[in-house]
Structure 1
Amino acid sequence: MSIVFNLSDQERGVRDLIKNALGSDDTLYAFADEPLYQFNHVKLYNLDIRTRPDAVTYPRTPEQVAAIVGAAAKAGLAVQAKSGGHSYCNFSSPDRGIVVDLRNMKKFSLNTETWRATVGGGMLLGELDDSLYSPHKRAVAHGVCPQVGLGGHATIGGLGPSSRLFGMALDHVEEVEVVTADGQILRASETQHKDLFWALKGAGASFGIITEFVLRTEKAPGETVQYKYSFTSGSWTEMADVFKTWQRFIADPDLTWRFATTATITTLGLSISGTFYGSNSEFEQLSLKPYFPLRESGSKTTVRQNWLDVLTHEAEQVALKLGGGIPAHAYTKTLTFNGSKNNLLDDPGVDKLFSYIEHADKGTLIWFLIFDLAGGNTNTVPMEATAYAHRDALYYLQSYAISDKLISGVSEITKQFLAGVNDVIVNHMKADRGYTDYGAYPGYVDLELGAEAQKLYWRDNLEELERIKAIYDPGEVFRNPQSVRPTVAQSRIATNDVKL
């Protein structure tokens, strides 16, 4: 028995526009009447948030990207790029919009005199690592999931274990080729279209589709130590004391930038893990043992000589926690602890947090609270140098929950649990000393933030972003539910009010 899919008038109009833009090569596009369209082409990452784009396109050249953007602008539809497709709210698959999937744009070259890499906008982080390291022993800082695409990662921030050492992924970006809302193909850098380049480094999805990056690369670290200390047998009160110790340790202003660390809380308890970019003897000189006397019962330290082995282990860890690139019914939240002073949770606040974690109804067994140390090289860049607005954060909280019912969505109980974690922290720190300088990392988009989302993502840089948006995309061709809006017109967000 065959299944018949009927297109709406709008969808038929979009199909005609895309075919006119890209020609008769049907490998360059897919439409909603195709069997298994959502599964084979849309590929939603968060199964809790349903979107159905009118078309998914697969361009091979910047000129084809420009033609697609022109078609979207003519139709009044949202257009968004997809590199890896790991948006927690499926922003790269706009509902009733057009997806520009960059999987065919993965070129790579490396200038061995300047050590600058030229990389296609569709390359995944794991592919980039392989291209840089195997023949050249070079590296770029980024997050730990190899299936994530460079295109989104390096235009939001791109935090990872080596960010304290090298900066974020976006700090490696020195030039881009970008398609703008009017269909132009521009080069943007510190010397060309400087305002657009500034905006792309922190809020890229609102300003264009990057088809090519030029990246500064680093000499890959040699000997590296990866460690994990697990505290799963004690009480939640004892784990709170370990967290207090971890927090005091990372607050040391003289802590080496070669030291990366996270404190992860799950159903099983607390673990302290991370990477030290140096020799084992140097790692031992950090003298962690006096700080974490309980670590002997669940400690593991591994010395690695190969950079790709380091990255593989980090990817394995995130896969164990979050399923890597596997779609799931999920919910995420984040909290950035900004400001140079009073940005630590004091001991009574830690006690309140762990008491809440112990007693709150969670609605699922699969949840993670990850406190990630930031700072280092990332925070040496002035706040106004790029659109990224959290360079004063000492650490970040990333919260995740996945439905353990497999085929059903994340419950309201689970969402309330994660929101409650943030509330316990924020309310205590506000009451304790009036601390309110929080933000939200724009890589962990959260629809529950409502009207405050853009301000939390981009803080004091939002006004300048809105000004630049009005110059390069006043009609909001590049838009999603939480994109930057132009100052002049309070235009539509993720709606289609232009009929074909």
Structure 2
Amino acid sequence: MHLSFTLLVLLSAFTTSVVAWAPLSSLQGRANNTFVNCLEQAGLDPVLQDEASYAANSSAYNLRFNYKPAAIVYPNNSTQVAAAVKCGAASGVKVNARGGGHSYAAFALGGEDGHLTVSLDRLRHLSLNGSTVTIGGGNRLGDVALYLWNNGKRALAHGTCPYVGIGGHAGQGGFGIPSRAWGLLADQITSIEIVTAAGDILTASSGSLSTGPNESSNPDLFWAAMGAGASFGIITQFTAETHEAVDSIAFQYAYANYTAEEASSGLLAWQKFASDPDTPLDANVGMQLHVSPDASTPHGIAFSVSGSYYGADVSKLNATMAPLLSALGNPTTTTIQTQDWITSVLYYAGAQNGSSALNTTTAAPDIHDHFYATSTFVSEQEPLGKASADALMQYFYGPGTKSAVEWFVIFDLYGGSKSAIRGRDADFNAFDARDALYSIQYYGTIPSSVSDQDGIKFIQGIKAALEQNQSNTTFKEYVNYIDSTYSAEVAHQKYYPTHTSRLTDLKNKYDANRVFHYPYDF
């Protein structure tokens, strides 16, 4: 199910003159093409549709999409990134950055045909000065984690997939298991180097940081880029304040015998434990709840609570989790493992025996999937009610056990009164869900035996079971789990409900001609 992308109508609202965007068909071949010539003269060697390598270079992470960029370039530095942006702007070709390329809706390829994709794969420099790290915009999370570990045992809070690019991740928030202690990845960024729509290379920071004589803090641009980065430029470099890479205790409590009723009670117990004002949960606890089909269980569903307790020992973990375990009952299996930082990173990356190196992000190809995903934020002010929990579990234990869609649902804890995410002001940056208690990611791999329409309908049914039984609640969503079925208006309501107006004003300031553009752009 693909969107009808109609954002071009927004351009009529602006008085600034707009370059006419060139159709894809006018950009084929290299001869007598000013756009292609511009890229070549900048030393960018564009990959075009008439080349054998084009299919591999333009392949989306989500195989539901097969967008065809006008060209793909691989700049070596920020100067070449700026040159690429200028070529696109001068020729009326819309521009998008690609870091890891993990956009669930393939927006790094433009979200439609005919864009210029600026791939940052060659911008992978890393350096550490004390506790401050400088990160090239093309680095993957695995690159960063391994470098920081090997150079002083430092760390950042970020997501678990080592192939995910830092640009899209930090540029739209960037949640990780340690985020309750340290904040989102965007919160740990102190400054960025960013190429604007004009082709300028700017430094942007919060405005409270000292800058050199040739730098500009551009605090409004920094605010927008840390939460809605894809709309405001191409971030070629990040500077972040790292943390000591602490040891942790990984835990998992599995409940293979739960009925739907027990699973509903378990979810509500988990929610209460996470937000109990009388016994606030330590910020060093990162915690998830997982639900997925499992034919080996009595009722066809696997239910588990897992996470890491950073800087703690087993006795502290046991004491902290005791109230939750009392409410959940006796687990079918319990896993407790003491881990140093890099073992923990590998554990969440799927290399649970620690045997796989994180540097495979440069040595081996990423996997691709044919899937649909969406999300829900449950706020601390409006926690999930029993009717919603019951309906959700009835869907899991009913249609969920029969569907050919390979689905899973993850509840990621964000909040609690001690959480660093919640502790920052609601307008700290463009990320617009500081009130979230937890996020829910609904994900389904759609096999060839199921149509995309039916697979999407099944996953949307999970979400509807929860949201439609929670009366008078407006749910936000996490932009890094972007839903490919929305209109721009709905996307803004879901991802930036209180920040859309400000983001639109800043878009008009920094990119009035919409050089950087994707279907949910401002």
Q: TM-score category by the smaller chain?
A: 0.7 to 0.9
1:299 maps to which residue? 334
Tell me how far apart the structure 2 counterparts of residues 50 and 119 of structure 1 sit (CA, whole Å).
Answer: 30
Identity score, percent: 31
TM superposition shift of 1:388: 0.6
2:205 maps to which residue? 189
Tell me how far apart the structure 2 counterparts of residues 11 and 215 of structure 1 sit (CA, whole Å).
Answer: 41
TM superposition shift of 1:414: 2.3
Letter in 2 for 1:330: F
Matched, 1:201 2:226: yes
Residues 396-475 of structure 1: pairs in structure 2 closer than 5 A: 396-405=439-448, 411-430=452-471, 434-436=472-474, 438-450=475-487, 451-475=489-513
Letter in 1 for 2:373: T
TM superposition shift of 1:238: 2.3
Residues 10-159 of structure 1: pairs in structure 2 closer than 5 A: 10-12=27-29, 16-23=34-41, 25=43, 28-39=45-56, 41-94=57-110, 95-112=113-130, 115-159=131-175
Matched, 1:171 2:187: yes
Matched, 1:354 2:389: no
CA 317–234 in structure 1, closer or farther in 2 if over 3 Å, else same: farther
Letter in 2 for 1:20: C
TM superposition shift of 1:282: 1.3
Whether the 8 Å CA contact 1:229–1:273 is kept in 2: the answer is yes
Whether the 8 Å CA contact 2:405–2:450 is kept in 1: the answer is no
1:495 maps to which residue? none
TM score, norm. by length of structure 2: 0.84
TM superposition shift of 1:155: 0.5
Which stretch has the larger CA shift, 97-106 or 284-293? 284-293
Which stretch has the larger CA shift, 197-206 or 184-193? 184-193
Whether the 8 Å CA contact 2:42–2:80 is kept in 1: the answer is no
Tell me how far apart the structure 1 counterparts of residues 78 and 151 of structure 2 sit (CA, whole Å).
Answer: 28
Tell me how far apart the structure 2 counterparts of residues 117 and 410 of structure 1 sit (CA, whole Å).
Answer: 45
Tell me how far apart the structure 1 counterparts of residues 484 and 253 of structure 2 sit (CA, whole Å).
Answer: 34
Deviations 1:301-340 (A, max 9, x none): 1111x21100000010799xxxx941111000101123x4
TM superposition shift of 1:11: 2.9
TM superposition shift of 1:119: 1.0
Matched, 1:483 2:521: yes
Whether the 8 Å CA contact 1:47–1:409 is kept in 2: the answer is no
Deviations 1:457-492 (A, max 9, x none): 1110110000000000011111111122xxxxxxxx
Matched, 1:387 2:405: no
Tell me how far apart the structure 1 counterparts of residues 272 and 92 of structure 2 sit (CA, whole Å).
Answer: 52
1:493 maps to which residue? none
Whether the 8 Å CA contact 1:15–1:55 is kept in 2: the answer is no
Secondary structure at 2:149 match in 1:
helix
| Residue in structure 2 matching 1:244, options 253, 268, 275 | 268
Letter in 2 for 1:210: I
Give the aligned length: 459
Which stretch has the larger CA shift, 164-173 or 246-255? 246-255
Deviations 1:60-97 (A, max 9, x none): 11111111001111121221111100000100012210
TM score, norm. by length of structure 1: 0.88
Tell me how far apart the structure 1 counterparts of residues 450 and 152 of structure 2 sit (CA, whole Å).
Answer: 45
1:374 maps to which residue? 414
TM superposition shift of 1:245: 1.8
1:264 maps to which residue? 290
Deviations 1:35-58 (A, max 9, x none): 14122x112111112201011100
Tell me how far apart the structure 2 counterparts of residues 312 and 15 of structure 1 sit (CA, whole Å).
Answer: 47
Deviations 1:371-425 (A, max 9, x none): 11102101111111211100110011100000233xx675322212221222222
Whether the 8 Å CA contact 1:59–1:65 is kept in 2: the answer is yes
Tell me how far apart the structure 2 counterparts of residues 384 and 316 of structure 1 sit (CA, whole Å).
Answer: 34
Where do 5+ consecutive residues of structure 2 fail to align?
1-23, 208-216, 295-300, 354-364
TM superposition shift of 1:351: 1.3
Secondary structure at 1:56 match in 2:
strand
Where do 5+ consecutive residues of structure 1 fail to align?
1-6, 485-500
Letter in 2 for 1:80: N
Tell me how far apart the structure 2 counterparts of residues 455 and 365 of structure 1 sit (CA, whole Å).
Answer: 28
1:314 maps to which residue? 348
Matched, 1:364 2:404: yes
Which stretch has the larger CA shift, 12-21 or 208-217? 12-21
Whether the 8 Å CA contact 2:98–2:108 is kept in 1: the answer is yes
Whether the 8 Å CA contact 2:82–2:200 is kept in 1: the answer is yes
TM superposition shift of 1:294: 2.2
Secondary structure at 2:109 match in 1:
coil
Which stretch has the larger CA shift, 286-295 or 458-467? 286-295
1:492 maps to which residue? none
Whether the 8 Å CA contact 1:160–1:168 is kept in 2: the answer is yes
| Residue in structure 1 matching 2:253, options 229, 235, 252 | 229
Once superposed, what is the RMSD of the aligned Cα atoms?
A: 2.1
Deviations 1:437-471 (A, max 9, x none): x1111111112222311121111011000000000
Matched, 1:273 2:343: no
Tell me how far apart the structure 2 counterparts of residues 363 and 325 of structure 1 sit (CA, whole Å).
Answer: 27
Tell me how far apart the structure 1 counterparts of residues 37 and 236 of structure 2 sit (CA, whole Å).
Answer: 21
Whether the 8 Å CA contact 1:48–1:409 is kept in 2: the answer is no
